[in-house]
Amino acid sequence: MSSKTATPNAAPAPTRRRFLAAAGAGAALGFPAIVRAQPAPITLRFQSTWPVKFIYHELAVDYTKKVAEMTGGRLRIEMLPAGAVVPGLQVMEAASKGVLDGGHGIPAFWFGRNTAFGLFGAGPDFGMDGNQLLGWMEYGGGRELYSEILAAAQLDVMSFHFCPVPCEPMGWFKKPIKGVADLKGLKFRTSGLAVDMFNELGMSTVQMAPADIVPAIDRGVLDGAEFASATDDRIMGFPDVAKFYFQQSYHMSNNFCEVMINRKKYDALPEDIKVILKHAAHAASADGLWKEMHRMSQDLVELQQSKKISAFITPKPILDAQLRAWNNVIRKRSAENPLFAKVIESQKAWARRVMYWHNTVQVDQKAGYAHHFGKGPLS
């Protein structure tokens, strides 16, 4: 055999590449790996304006879960129920002052700080529902106007608006309501700008904490009241003290929720988490509306079938009178508050275009439903 012939099973000749690879492997085996410590999660303490069993507290908690998932656990928000730290209607002020890191509620609750807050979901709807008003918030200038009102009210928070609230019932009554004349002099609980609107109809309205409403009807202090939806109204005990439940109203037909964060706490967050807080609100908006559809439809049917509640559609003359009443409220409040007037004009401009489009392209849903189901599941 020639001396140039390679010997079987001989080790390959060393090369510079093999030497460096071997050296690297040896270094990896000889020294411990460097593990970068993960930063501790950021924890914030929020409080909602809702009792723990209410669906809107549940939706507030849903938002915190989405934030935790989207940040991979880097931001954790504890959402306490109303009263855990401060009374429910003091959540915004507590968040602004840093007593709380943030909170959840609806803008109408801050009506006492500036009447223009009442236009963000609890004022005249100009034909819009809550989702369409949220469109104005995002694309029609609503967010910028809300920031102006926060500044005027000296509230130092960052707010996100989401989760449209379905049209709220006109309310619970102890006797049938057939027309506007039946409303005259009735002692009635409502809140925000709806106080002005119902007063225009001749009612004697009061604002009252949620826990006091049902006992007041039971004792005869109130003739009727409105609160939120079939889901929360059932939990509060309305079916035990009133049997006439009137659906559809223009007093709060376009409401939505708000989550607010103390401005200093928000400014200190990493930029990517700030983006997540915004997009988590968008995700919670869709998911919350779907959950409301599911739960509120179940509860309305259950109230009628199990609790023997009579659910009536509010008579059209009352609805027409509500629209006329809003005209008077708008005129009076706009004269008192330039910011109120500014918001009204912005909402009108958005509604005039968007609702023209909606009413032009959207087929009649009531006719489609009637074709397939007649009067519905209770017929």
Does residue 94 form part of some domain?
Answer: yes
Does residue 81 form part of some domain?
Answer: yes
Position 7 scores a pLDDT of 41
What is the span of the domain harbouring residue 145?
42-167+254-295
Taking every pair of C-alpha atoms in the chain, what is the biggest distance, in angstroms? 121
Does residue 204 form part of some domain?
Answer: no
**How many domains, in total, are found in the chain?**
1
Position 4 scores a pLDDT of 40
Residue of 144, 166, 287, 186 whose CA lies nearest to 233:
166
pTM, to two decimals = 0.87
Does residue 153 form part of some domain?
Answer: yes
* Position 166, amino acid: P
Does residue 210 form part of some domain?
Answer: no
Does residue 345 form part of some domain?
Answer: no
Does residue 105 form part of some domain?
Answer: yes
| Mean pLDDT by groups of 10 residues along the chain of 379 residues | 41 45 44 60 97 96 98 98 95 98 96 95 94 98 98 98 97 95 96 94 90 93 95 94 96 97 98 98 97 96 88 96 98 98 98 98 94 77
Q: Residue 141: which CATH number?
A: 3.40.190.170
Does residue 50 form part of some domain?
Answer: yes
pLDDT in tens, 68-103: 999 999 999 999 999 999 999 999 999 999 999 999
* Position 20, amino acid: L
CA distance 364 to 198: 30
pLDDT in tens, 289-314: 999 999 999 999 999 998 889 899 99
CB 343 within 8 A of CB 118: no
Position 307 scores a pLDDT of 80
Residue of 224, 174, 233 whose CA lies nearest to 201:
224
